[in-house]
Structure 1
Amino acid sequence: MLSNWKRQRAARRLKPGDGHSLPRFRWWQLFSRTIFHLRLAGEDGRPQTWSVDVRLWGDSDDGEVRARLYRDGRHEATSKLPAEFPVTGGAIEVVTSGYGLKRCHVVPDDGGPARQLVPDPASAEGRRARLEREHPGMSRTIGFVTWSVLVAALVLGVPQLVEQISHIPPVAEDVGTFTSPVHLSATVNVALVVATLLASTERALRLRYHWLLDGGLFDGDD
């Protein structure tokens, strides 16, 4: 029932497309835009290319982040996020986090496994995927480093944050205060925040997401 409710909400967010062509990806859009593609056979058996275009910083007119669906380069539909686009034999699900996409998968109607769409080669996600293909060892090392940074940020940063929150007068009166076992200098804390942002962004380029490590507590992840 919950799944049906989510699908009904997603359907209400869908708006029909106007048929315009998929705009070319520009180099200056590397971290503000992403495009993913999917090849499927249409109902007539002919191959079709479905593309999902997301402006991660929001549309220029109102700042709202939307996903746009294109079929063979022509605009089919637009949706606010999270989005679910019906396609031949299934639906494309698009979800963002605070750092980029955390999901851009096609889910078959027959209950088969979901699979991720292919990032456009010109996008940041496409360049990261190429690094993984051409230099798998380096890719694994980068992935381990970013995971380690987020774990370290969680272990070192959360106790300090809890201590600060516990000293807010209403909180202190109701639940008492907490003393963090970790106290870092302001410079180290700033460096930790910057490293965390970079690590989460790198993981978003691979559509890797964990509710605890990648900020789900703060961006409304369910």
Structure 2
Amino acid sequence: MKKLCLAAMVAATLLGCNVGDEVVEHSGIDIDNLSQADLQNYANITADALTVVAKAAKDCAENLPVGNSNECYIPEIQGNIDIAVAKGRIKVEKQTDRVVIHTVEAMQFTTHNAITDGEIISLTLNEKTDDDYIMTMNNSNQITFKGMLVNTADNDATYWSTESTSPLTYRYNINEVHPYITNGSAIISGKDNQHFTWSADANGYISVTR
């Protein structure tokens, strides 16, 4: 069963396995042996991918009545953000004080980031992968999240997960070059419970600490 789940994740179907954390724990990135530059690159990819999902969710939930849900494809973002979306679809559920966001179809994307070399990355925020894989956005545009990313073009299938430790604020207006997230932090986890922290400052700059 575990092999079937791993195969499903590599194929980005990510349905019905409930083993996301287990896969990262046993087959995740070896954080202790990564350089500081590699940590920064993983953090940048992760923050950019989450920002793309946050913008898609914000747009998808626009004018949605409380108690209703909607599904939308994840579009390309114009501007300087280094994410080219290949495909992906989200479901948003409007609650009184927040929007709950899941990926119905994992977001697949490419980036020029040095650790990927143009390969396909997949991000899932889906409770069918693990019960607590989710993103939320409150009425002040603060987001919390837990999800998993996988380098689907890598022969060794590189996995990592990310989870917010303090809410990050999604920011975007028509005068900005691109959307960004600010004023919060998260961890990235790899194999054997190795992890590091990434943070966004008030200007959206991403920094990392071991």
TM-score with structure 2 setting the length: 0.28
Structure number with the bigger relative contact order (C-alpha 8 A, sep ≥ 6) is 2
Greater CA radius of gyration, 1 or 2?
1
Question: Quick check: which one's strand share is greater?
Answer: 2
TM-score with structure 1 setting the length: 0.27
